[in-house]
Amino acid sequence: MKQLIALDINDQIYEVPVDPWDLLSDVIRKKVRLTGTKKGCEQGDCGACTVLINGQAVLSCLTLAIACQGKKITTIEGLAEQDGRLHPIQQSFVDYGAVQCGFCTSGMILSSKALLDSNPKPGREEIKRALSGNLCRCTGYKKIIEAVEVASETMSKEGVK
Amino acid sequence: MGVWDKEQYVREGVPPFQDERRFTQVGKSVPKIDSPAKVRGEAIYTDDIVLPGMAYGRIKRCTEHAHAKIKKIDYSKALAHPGVLAVLIGDEAPKKWGMLPQTANETVLAVDKVRFNGEGVAAVAAVDEETAEIACDLIDVEYEPLPVLLDPFESMQRAGEIQIHEDAPGNILHEGEQVFGDVDKAFKECKYILEREFKTNMPQQGFLEPQAALANYDPQNGQLRLWSSSQIAHYLHRQISDVLEMPMNKIRVTVPTVGGGFGGKAEACVNEFVACLLSRKIGRPVKVTFDRSEVFYTNKGRHPCHMKMKIGLDADGYIQAVDFDNTLDKGAYAGWGIVVLFYSASMIHLPYKVPNARFRGRCVYTNKPSMGSMRGLGGVQPRFAMECMLDELAEMMGISPFELKMKNAVESGYTAVNNMYVPHTEYKRSLQKAVEKSGYLEKHGKLPFGKGIGLAGGYYITGTAYTLYMSYKPHTSVLLRVDTEGGVTLHCSAVDIGQGSNTVMAQMAAEALGVHFEDVHIQSHDTEVGTFDLGTFASRLTYATGIAIRDAAEKINGKLKEIAAGLLGCRADHLAIKDRKIYSIYEAERKSMEWEKVVEIAVNTTGSLAAMGHFSPPRRRGFDLTSGKRAQGANIGHSPTFGFSCQIFEVDVDLETGKIKVTRVTESGDMGTMINPMAADGQVEGSIVYNLGACLYEDQFFDKDGIHLNPNFQDYKMPTIMDMPEMDINTLTDSYDPTAPFGAKETGEGAVQPTFPAIVNAIYDAIGIRFTEVPITPEKVLKALKEKKKGK
Amino acid sequence: MFLNHFEYFAPQAAKDALDLCDRLGAKAKILAGGTDLLNLMKDKLLKPEYLIDINNVDEFKGIFYEPGKGAVIGAATKISEIERSEIIREKYFALHQAAGELGSVQVRNMATIGGNICNASPAAETPTPLVALGAKVVISSLSGDREMPLEEFILGNGETALAEGEILTKFLLPEPISGSVSRYGYIGLRDAMEIDAVNLAVNLALGEDGRIIKQLKLVMGSVFPRPLVSEEAPEILIGKEFSAELAEEAARAASSESKPISDIRASAEYRREIVAVLSRRLLQEAFSAAQGEV
């Protein structure tokens, strides 16, 4: 049943053998071996497995890998610059203490990126709404919001996408 | 980066060389050392690891019953299924384990009977996860259902008919009493007496990373390696050794990055044993990762408590006596049970002066997944009761709750009647600051109906006085290594579960050695590479590692100063090390050398430098100071020092739907020196939202047969970012405990203590109803409002 | 948590999708957003032998509006697209509100309006406003299309009027009559990611005088196996001048019509109570807004 499909992940084409029932989260983690995408609940309730598909935040635990051919997938590993410099959102998460255990972090950052790409200057309520599908049990969310606000400023100042 | 007010650590008029508080590394909000890897998605958690030849393990669970005899397990079909490598059942590992060796009563997989819904009955190793899951479905288990006991009182009552454990008559794990002073006599002399009953819920830690364990047994040399998402590398190490009947020195436990713990990973976990046993069986690495439902079946969350409390005040409002009765719902197995029981007992002795106190309590088995050690262990429930009652007592007296709490608050140097000693506290200033910042006195009792403000305080231990098994060894040891190649390396097996202990250890080591925090490499999370540490629980790491680090650093500094003294031509004891420089405290301008240069000379002459440092807590005995009598379990609750905090909550109650919206929280805490203020704030903010969830939303539900109804994040409702209140954190920046390393005390669990009662007191202020049960759902609020209207 | 093994089809054209559906019958399931379907499959509550992914069928997607005639929404349109649609916001406000409250951003980017309806969960967000707005569904098969009112399409918890070989392809929303306003509201424990304990939608139109209620539809969700249309509320209010007292009476009537169950999210009693509160609030809100319209 397996078929070879091409997945565009972080601007690289990966040819992976998949079964139709393989979930994108499992393919990314186990076959492509990008383990920054996390599985927290596998039922779409926690947001840890969030990736971007064509720029939109989606849950990779409820997405069939086979349905992702021809789409642009972005995982947390695809955010930093080629030389390893952090994306402004990543940098502000580090600088403003928005990271504790780190398990929600990949999803949080990707949801933030989807937000800032479509709405570069979001208000506090807009940030909250955009991140409401990403549970964090450590931080109490306050520093995450601050980090997104700072990233928004940095990105518009530096013209980062 | 963040805010660091250097001034706050500098005391006027004290020369720098004499000022132990003039820090350069401690007190700085440096970003956590592991966060760059985390934001890149590069941090390796246990489930991310794949070893060559690795197999996947899965546990077959009893999802149909909560209490049943196992009549027969037939796993022949599973074993015959292609890709299945081995099946394990309970009889193969019958040795009982548990956090306290005295009450160890859990087996890896159920033997003869299951005692809670979701208990493991068999396990499978297979070539991939899907095959393992299919194989579990192919195992046939025949059960004979037994009556199910879900309520602790019913459990005690029907114990003659149904016993959950053969060796626990009455279905009681432990029953205890502690008496200090003469409570009955004291009550007779009280002017204000209040008696209330409280009931708490069954929240679960809700860490985002489900438990994962990977074991690799090498049949050639009989060595076992275990990677696991654990808070307690050492206790895990011990219990694996015990259950697998292998010496500890043949086992190495490594903890990869941990995705949160909150006490839920502060016990050995079935997947760890299963991974090890299966790996030993098939001679291949085996990984067992839980799905979310298994996290809930494993539970180890907070004990539901049924509490009766009586508090008496004299005419002036001074507390004279507290009588506390607590029935804890233990769930199916002992685990941390007795410790939690007596922690709850100790919690009535602080943060107020209580001259007479009595505790009666019992930990009762039920057919629910076992409770364990959840953030703020033993404290959250009695703090809820006590702080709500003091609020009510203040009302009876016609004074502000703030005034009543100030009046009774403990001061530095206080010894409680159970001999708990408080070397340092700024609790009163925490109360004052929170009150001032929130405008509590102007708002309390004066807001329109439906809006309210509530105050509560709390405290927590900074590490424990005793190990869980009998031992006199130091609780933490560190090895500091200094050489010309690696620079400074700190070895300690302590585990960072996200709170930032690796960063804090680096800052403290840098401060103690006089270098910069980025110079320090941390080797932690491993029982072989790291030196001994008891574990990440009881808010102990900053204090324990801090003392051990200082101890080790002094030895290294001594050697370096001797060498530098010869080179600089001055006395070694006139030298100080700071900011990568060794200098004479009297002639800093003339006599100074680069630290690195001195290290080079030291290494060239005598070789690499290394020193051990240790921490052993003071062991105060729990006895009645008035009578001199020992009280059972009263050693529990003692700590080298304590953190304190005050929280003030503001709420809006929707009078028609009963929905409570927490709008604002003003906090002020006394945690001594904040080694890393940004990380410390993160602990406080996280704590507030954490227990806000348990107070308003979270609970685990069971049907009448004990079947778990919400083992998922859809119906186990943790706060989302939309539910976050505005938070104003005002941790005291000038608190300094002179007995503590760098002046630092705990915060990770203290800040969850005031949350329940502060919310509940705010709701009272809003609608005039005192809730005594959590969680306070809109439905309960609406019902209470209706009853109030009817004049009940 | 693995899915059962199935064969996967991703047709590009409506005809191909209908053809597959006809050929594979009950052994096939339509994959739209997947947020409900894949969860049911993970729990082994569904084990389809075939999945027909309709996300590539352009004919099933999009929001089209024609003044005077109303809107057509393709069944495979993402909830997030509905949430962002200006025309939906302007003309069908209750649907806009409900779309914005469904799940999380991620779920809204994945889930489709057709999926939300076909999953037929009593607690679903979009059926209530769609019924209140008078939506019809278009059901397609090889033998052609048939239309029916949405309230007849949803039969019960997880049950719809879809027959073998049929696909729900479109929603037809009539042009709102002049002076009408719709509102949606819900009550849950948290402020996001909630499975509603109760949700409710009203669609109210005022006469030209700006006081007399000309038309009213009040629909309750999560209190019955399918969206429940209040019969009494319109009887109480239509033809009358709006007043707080009448709104209260209508709200009480709706509440007594509701037939909720008790579960871990809320008791039946609380749900009934909330129906009354939400009804009154939404009626009031819709009335005030409608006054602004006239």
The topology (CATH level 3) of C198-293 is Enolase-like; domain 1 (3.30.390)
Cα separation of B744 and B501, whole Å? 13
Mean pLDDT in residue range B525-532: 96
Cα separation of B97 and B104, whole Å? 5
0.90 surpassed by pTM: yes
pLDDT at A159: 81
| Of B68, B120, B471, residue with least CA distance to B269 | B120
Cα separation of B675 and A114, whole Å? 35
- Give residue C188's identity as a one-letter amino acid code: G
Chain B hits for A137, CB-CB cut-off 8 Å, are 205-208, 260, 262, 686, 690, 718
Lowest average pLDDT, out of B440-444, B467-471, C148-152, C250-254, goes to: B467-471
CB contact (8 A) between residue B782 and residue C270? yes
CATH class of B470-615: alpha beta
pLDDT at B6: 42
CATH number of the domain at C58-174, out of 3.30.465.10, 3.30.1050.10, 3.40.50.740, 1.20.1740.10?
Answer: 3.30.465.10
Cα B297 to Cα B236, B293, B367, C257: the distances in Å are 20, 6, 12, 39
Domain holding A151: CATH number?
1.10.150.120
Does A95 reach chain B within 8 Å, measured CB to CB? yes
Does A129 reach chain C within 8 Å, measured CB to CB? yes
| Of C263, C228, C265, C236, residue with least CA distance to C252 | C236
Q: For domain B382-463+640-790, which architecture applies?
A: 2-Layer Sandwich (3.30)
3-class DSSP string for B350-390: CCECCCEEEEEEEEEECCCCCECCCCCCCCHHHHHHHHHHH
Nearest CA in chain B to A21: B130
Cα separation of C227 and C232, whole Å? 15
pLDDT at B542: 97
Is the same domain home to A95 and A62?
Answer: no
Cα separation of B674 and B681, whole Å? 9
Same fold, B382-463+640-790 and B470-615: yes
Cα separation of B56 and B161, whole Å? 41
pLDDT at B693 over 90: yes
**Among C52, C55, C104, the residue to mutate for chain A (most A Cβ within 10 A):** C104
- Give residue C284's identity as a one-letter amino acid code: Q
pLDDT at B4 over 60: no
Domain definitions of chain C by residue range: 7-53, 58-174, 198-293
Mean pLDDT in residue range B751-767: 98
pLDDT at B3: 38
Cα separation of B51 and C203, whole Å? 60
pLDDT at C294: 60
Domain definitions of chain B by residue range: 46-146+211-289, 382-463+640-790, 470-615
pLDDT at B536 over 90: yes
Question: For C205-238, what is each residue's pLDDT tens digit?
Answer: 999 888 899 999 999 999 999 999 999 999 999 9
- The model's confidence at residue B22, banded by pLDDT at 50, 70 and 90, is confident
Chain B hits for C264, CB-CB cut-off 8 Å, are 701, 709-710, 715
pLDDT at C72 over 50: yes
Partnered with residue B328 across adjacent β-strands are B305, B363
Strands (E), A33-105: 50-53, 56-59, 72-74
Q: Locate tokens 């002073």: which residue?
A: B181
Q: Are B706 and B67 in contact (CB under 8 A)?
A: yes
Q: Locate tokens 């969960």: which residue?
A: C121
The topology (CATH level 3) of B46-146+211-289 is Aldehyde Oxidoreductase; domain 3 (3.90.1170)
- The model's confidence at residue C197, banded by pLDDT at 50, 70 and 90, is confident
Positive or negative torsion for Cα B543, B546, B552, B553: negative
Is the same domain home to A96 and A53?
Answer: no
pLDDT at B731 over 80: yes
Instruction: Report if residue A135 sits inside a domain.
Output: yes
Nearest CA in chain B to A141: B721
Instruction: Report if residue A82 sits inside a domain.
Output: no
Q: Are A128 and B722 in contact (CB under 8 A)?
A: yes
Question: For B371-426, what is each residue's pLDDT tens digit?
Answer: 999 999 999 999 999 999 999 999 999 999 999 999 999 999 999 999 999 999 99
Q: Are B534 and B469 in contact (CB under 8 A)?
A: no
Does B703 reach chain C within 8 Å, measured CB to CB? no
Cα separation of A25 and A86, whole Å? 23
Does B262 reach chain A within 8 Å, measured CB to CB? yes
pLDDT at C196: 79
pLDDT at B7: 46
Strands B319-331 and B356-365: parallel
Domain holding A25: CATH number?
3.10.20.30
Nearest CA in chain A to C102: A133
Question: For B247-256, what is each residue's pLDDT tens digit?
Answer: 999 999 999 9
Question: For B71-109, what is each residue's pLDDT tens digit?
Answer: 999 999 999 999 999 999 999 999 999 999 999 999 999
For B437, the enclosing helix (H) or strand (E) is helix B427-438
* Alpha helices by DSSP H, chain A: 24-26, 88-95, 105-118, 124-130, 142-158
Q: What is the mean pLDDT of chain B?
A: 96
CA-CA-CA-CA dihedral for C273, C276, C277, C279, to nearest 10: 150
pLDDT at B792: 63
CATH number of the domain at C7-53, out of 3.40.50.740, 3.40.30.10, 3.40.50.1000, 3.30.43.10?
Answer: 3.30.43.10
CB contact (8 A) between residue B779 and residue C267? yes
Percent of chain B beyond pLDDT 90?
Answer: 94
- The model's confidence at residue B5, banded by pLDDT at 50, 70 and 90, is very low
pLDDT at C256: 97
Is the same domain home to A55 and A96?
Answer: no
pLDDT at B18: 60
Strands B660-670 and B726-729: parallel
Mind giving me the DSSP string for B470-497?
S--S-SEEEEEEEETTTEEEEE-----S
Task: Pick out chain A residues at pLDDT < 50.
Answer: none
Chain A hits for B1, CB-CB cut-off 8 Å, are 95
- The model's confidence at residue B275, banded by pLDDT at 50, 70 and 90, is very high
Nearest chain B Cα distance for residue A70, angstroms: 24
- Give residue B279's identity as a one-letter amino acid code: S
Cα separation of B28 and B45, whole Å? 28
Instruction: Report if residue A124 sits inside a domain.
Output: yes
pLDDT at B12 over 80: no
Cα separation of C216 and C238, whole Å? 7
Is the same domain home to A59 and A93?
Answer: no
Please, which residues 44-63 of chain A have a Cβ atom closer than 8 Å to chain C? 44-45, 47, 50, 56-59, 62-63
Q: Identify which of B206, B499, B689 has the shortest CB distance to residue A140.
A: B689
Cα C157 to Cα B59, C28, C112: the distances in Å are 33, 20, 18
Write phi, then psi, for B257 (nearest 5 degrees). Answer: -60, 135
CA-CA-CA-CA dihedral for B263, B264, B266, B271, to nearest 10: -170
Residue A26 belongs to what domain range? 3-77
Partnered with residue C144 across adjacent β-strands are C141
| Of B611, B637, B467, B460, residue with least CA distance to B550 | B611
Other C-beta atoms lying within 10 Å of the C-beta of residue C142: 12
pLDDT at C276: 97
Total number of domains in chain A:
2
Instruction: Report if residue A120 sits inside a domain.
Output: yes
Cα separation of C294 and C280, whole Å? 21
Question: For C75-107, what is each residue's pLDDT tens digit?
Answer: 999 999 999 999 999 999 999 999 999 999 999
Q: Identify which of A97, A101, A131 has the shortest CB distance to residue B721.
A: A131
Is the same domain home to A95 and A116?
Answer: yes
Cα separation of B584 and C55, whole Å? 75
Write phi, then psi, for B319 (nearest 5 degrees). Answer: -65, 130
CB contact (8 A) between residue A132 and residue C104? yes
